[in-house]
Structure 1
Amino acid sequence: MERPYILHMFTPGRQMSPFDVNMAADAGYQVIVPYCEVGLDAVKGLTQDTIFSRGPKGVARTGIFIGGRSALLAMDMLDRARESMVPPFVVSVMADPSGAYSTAAAMVACVDAALQARQGHGLANQRVVVLGGTGPVGRVAGVLAASVGAEVFLSSREGVEAAETAARETGGRFKVRLRGISGHGPEAVRTSIGQADVVLGCAAAGVQVVSAEDLEFATRLKVAADVNAVPPEGIAGVGVMDDAVPLSGTDAVGIGALAIGNVKYQTQHRLLLQMIKADKPVVLGCAEAFDTARAYLDEKRRG
């Protein structure tokens, strides 16, 4: 009898996301085991318990998934798990805290594709403002946009100091340049989006960060994308199903939460399949999620 596919799921939180458990099962993992309240210091021991118990053949059917809510801690845990392997006892590892890596990858890939289709260029040299930029999706979206040459500003409703702190921490951890900008109040938001080519709405569900009146100031805006699926829209006028639909009152197009969510789903599913099907163990973080999202959109475009 063949050995089952086993996925060990580590999270610093009190519970593992049911969404991620469902995704793992749908990808083909047969045994899925969550480990909760896992700190960074516990990762090495859990990883080595994972690898040594199955033998060189068994590790090919074993994976580790890292969840939680922190984009930075998840990357640290991913690195710690990778460093804890002892060849030939090596398993595939994937991180996607609160879906932040796959959601941000889908969002930025959709924006880049919309720019290519509408403007004839991607995100390189574009000014990107990330509203809700101190949260996990906002931070990673900023990292991915910066990785392809965008000038990225993380915005915070708490003001410029909070934004600059998040930009410094996140940029340093992922080795990209990020800047902070204030999103404290309508005047600050209007100033920031008035200078933006792209606005990414990554605020909490049900929070509108850009009103219709605010959009009147976005005179150079090309694309607005919003991951908020809970009314009201995070960016006024961007419907959840919009997929590069003209945004009323602007020269831009809007990309909504469900259009992004479909790409996010495909991205996470494909990453989990990579772990199962890989001939050699893989390590999958936000960069790999971005590559996967872009590949999916390219396949979709080519039919």
Structure 2
Amino acid sequence: MADKNILHMLTPHKHVSPFDVNMALDAGYDSVTPYEEVELDEITDLVQDVIFSRPPHLGVKSAVFFGGDDAVLALDMIEAAKKALVPPFGCNIMADPAGSFTTAAAMVACVERTLKTKKQRQLKDVSIAVFGATGVVGYCAAVIAAMEGASVKIVGHDGRERVAKRAEEMKHRFGVDVEPVDGSSAEKNTAIVGDVEVILAAAKAGVQVLSADQLKAASKLLVAADVNAVPPMGLEGIDVMADEQEIAGTRALGIGALAIGPMKSKTEYGLLKRMIEAEEPQALDFRDAFQLARTLVQ
């Protein structure tokens, strides 16, 4: 009998994501077992149960996946899992809380492709405003863009205080500098987007963060992407199916949620498949997701 590929799926919430379960089984896992309401201080015991139950050469056939809806907690869980490993015993480790790591990766990769192919620009050459940066997708998108050299502003819909804390956290954890800005009024948001070349909208589903008139007033805008598929769109005038379509009244190109979505799914599937096919244990987060996504969008 062939050795089984076994995935242990952990979440701090009441349920694991059915989306992730389906993706894992479609990618080729023989077994997916959910562990719910898991706390950070429980990771060590759970991971060591995973690794010590099989001989070292089968460590690569075991994997631990972290879900939830908190990017920072998922990263902390990855670190706890790494520290729990006892060589030569090991296993694969991956996180994608609320699909945020792969969604953010796909979003930034789609923008990068459009900048290169349609505007002859690179991420490191542009300024970016991220709406929804205190959420999981926006947080990761901001870090990815900053790590690639972009000048990034994270916009606080309720003022500067919360995004300032996020900026400090990003600096401490990833060594990137992002600028927290106050987006608590329409006037302030109009001023913010008037000074950037890229907009990434990852705010709460069903919340419009910028109107069509605000986008028209963004004279430097090259590309705008929105991951919200629930009406009203986060960015008015960008259809959910838009894929490099010109935004009315501007010279900018729009990318909608249902153009980003397939890339997100392919990225998550690809990372899960990578763990199955790996010869050595992997530890995968949103940085790995971005490196894969940027190859998939070409």
Looking at structure 1, the residues matched to 134 and 276 of structure 2 have their Cα atoms a distance apart, in angstroms, of 33
In structure 1, the residue matched to 2:160 is 160
Q: 1:168, 1:179 within 8 Å by CA — same for their partners in 2?
A: no
Asked whether the equivalents of residues 72 and 173 of structure 1 are also in contact (C-alpha less than 8 Å), the reply is no
SS at 2:63 equivalent: strand
Q: What corresponds to 1:185 in structure 2?
A: 185
> 1:87 aligns to what?
87
Where do 1:281-296 residues align within 5 Å?
281-296=281-296
Give the Cα–Cα distance (whole angstroms) in 2 for the partners of residues 213 and 186 of structure 1. Answer: 11
2:97 corresponds in structure 1 to 97
Aligned residue in 2 for 1:210: 210
Structure-2 separation of matches of 1:4 and 1:282? 17
Listed one character per residue, the Cα deviations across residues 58-95 of structure 1 (whole Å, up to 9, x for unaligned) are: 32211110111111111111111012111121111111
Q: Superposition pairs for residues 168-247 of structure 1, below 5 Å?
A: 168-247=168-247
Displacement after TM superposition at 1:57 (Å): 3.3
Q: What is the alpha-carbon distance in structure 1 between the residues aligned to residue 122 and residue 40 of structure 2?
A: 37
Partner of 1:129: 129
Rounded Cα–Cα distance in structure 2 between residues aligned with 1:43 and 1:63: 13
SS of 2:153's equivalent in the other structure is strand
Instruction: Compute the displacement of 1:151 (Å).
Output: 0.6
Q: Which residue of 2 aligns with 1:15?
A: 15
Could you tell me how far apart the structure 1 residues matched to 2:191 and 2:171 are?
23
Name 2:106's counterpart in structure 1: 106
Which consecutive unaligned segments of at least 5 residues does structure 1 have? 299-303
Write the distance in 2 (CA, Å) between the matches of 1:82 and 1:36. Answer: 20
Distance 1:106 1:122 in 2: 16
Matches within 5 A, 1:8-47: 8-47=8-47
% same residue = 46
Per-residue CA deviations over 1:184-241 (Å, capped at 9, x if unaligned) read 1201110111111000010111111011121232110000000000111110111111
Secondary structure of the structure 2 residue equivalent to 1:64 = strand
RMSD: 1.0
Q: Secondary structure at the match of 2:125?
A: coil
Q: CA offset at residue 296 of structure 1?
A: 1.0
CA positional deviation for 1:34: 1.1
SS in 2 for 1:124: helix
Per mean C-alpha deviation after superposition, the further-off stretch among 203-212 and 58-67 is 58-67
What is the identity, as a one-letter code, of the residue corresponding to 1:38? V
* Separation (CA, whole Å) in 1 of partners of 2:131 and 2:60: 41
Aligned residues: 298
Q: Is the 8 A contact 1:7 1:32 kept in 2?
A: yes
* Cα distance in 2, alignment partners of residues 216 and 197 from structure 1: 13
Shift of 1:11: 1.1
